[in-house]
Amino acid sequence: MSLVVEELVLQRADGVRLLGPLSLSLAPGERLGLAGESGSGKSLLARALFGVLPPGVVQAGGALSAFGSRLDQPGPARDAIRGARLAWVPQDPLGALNPLLTLGEHLALLPGIHRKETQAGALQRLGPLLERLRLPGEASFLGRFPHQLSGGQRQRLCLAMALSCDPELLVLDEPTTALDPLVQRDFLALVRELQRERGLGFLWITHDLAVASQVCERLLVLYGGAAMEAGPMVRLLTAPRHPYTARLLAAARRLPSSEAGFLPSPQDRPAGCPFQPRCERAQTDCAAWGPWQGPQADGLRCGHPLRVEAAPRP
């Protein structure tokens, strides 16, 4: 497996749980979507993988590993993986880029660390990639600063940086959120092409099932820091079994029912299934939540699931 997350638990310093226990695995070349609304813990997982958890958030249990090495334990093996074999495309490219560095300096950062390349050598090697990403390779352009780019250019720059050391696995955290529909369409098409050509595996984090359906073959649905349902993308889109997955589909279709309720803050989550306050199928036994049903890659955690024939269609 390229990436393995085993019973991961993330919590605040005061002991309030934010995510987990969560398990998932990603095989070489696989395209896994991690879906859920804001506050479900999706981006926390990405930050945990790269060792940049927010202040006051700690890993309280479980393990993170990639390519056979632990990501949550310091050492040269971990450092050799992050940025080289496992790379990250962040949600907010402007916030992730250093305003004091030129584009060329950004592009040479990871090659300088992992390949000991000079800036000139890295930019020469990356020329075909920049052309493919529609980023000019001329010195006049590479001498610009991040604030001088459009939103689409900044996102493509972050993608170029992530691909600069030919990684095997990408973690993409809501990469199209700030893009307008036309730019988003082009970005998605570009990522699909690069994935096919390079055999990339990726973990695509999103709140938008319409986006996930275009780039992912499997889907794991999170709510309130816990896994709700996982399985092949086509099945979850056409026959969801968890009421929350059905709610996400309703939100994608902008149905009025999708607007009912809100995600409680971590300290206010109920015992058992965190979706109870918003679930029309909730019963008293939902407070004693059952175990994850099914193998890790394809499962359900719900005591009162939808019948397949009754599940809404997109």
Question: Cis link prior to 21 (omega < 30° from 0)?
Answer: yes
3-state secondary structure of 229: strand
**CA quadruple 207, 211, 213, 218: dihedral sign:** negative
pTM recorded for the entire structure: 0.89
Low-confidence residues of the chain: pLDDT under 50: 256-259, 310-314
**Partners of 172 in the beta sheet?**
89, 204
Nearest to 41 by CA among 21, 56, 25: 21
pLDDT in tens, 196-229: 989 999 999 998 888 899 999 999 999 999 999 9
Please give the pLDDT value at position 296.
Answer: 67
Angstrom distance (rounded) from CA 257 to CA 255: 6
Q: Where are the domains of the chain?
A: 3-98+167-310
3-state secondary structure of 65: strand
3-state secondary structure of 38: coil
| Residue 47 neighbours by CB distance under 10 Å | 17
Please give the pLDDT value at position 62.
Answer: 95
Angstrom distance (rounded) from CA 246 to CA 231: 14
DSSP 182: H
Please give the pLDDT value at position 258.
Answer: 45
Please give the pLDDT value at position 185.
Answer: 87
Nearest to 246 by CA among 271, 281, 216: 281
Q: Determine whether 256 is exposed, middle or buried from the number of CB atoms within 10 Å of its CB (0-12, 13-18, 19+).
A: exposed
Total number of residues shown for the chain: 314
Assess if CATH 3.40.50.300 describes domain 3-98+167-310.
Answer: yes
Angstrom distance (rounded) from CA 215 to CA 226: 23
pLDDT in tens, 59-79: 999 999 999 999 999 999 999
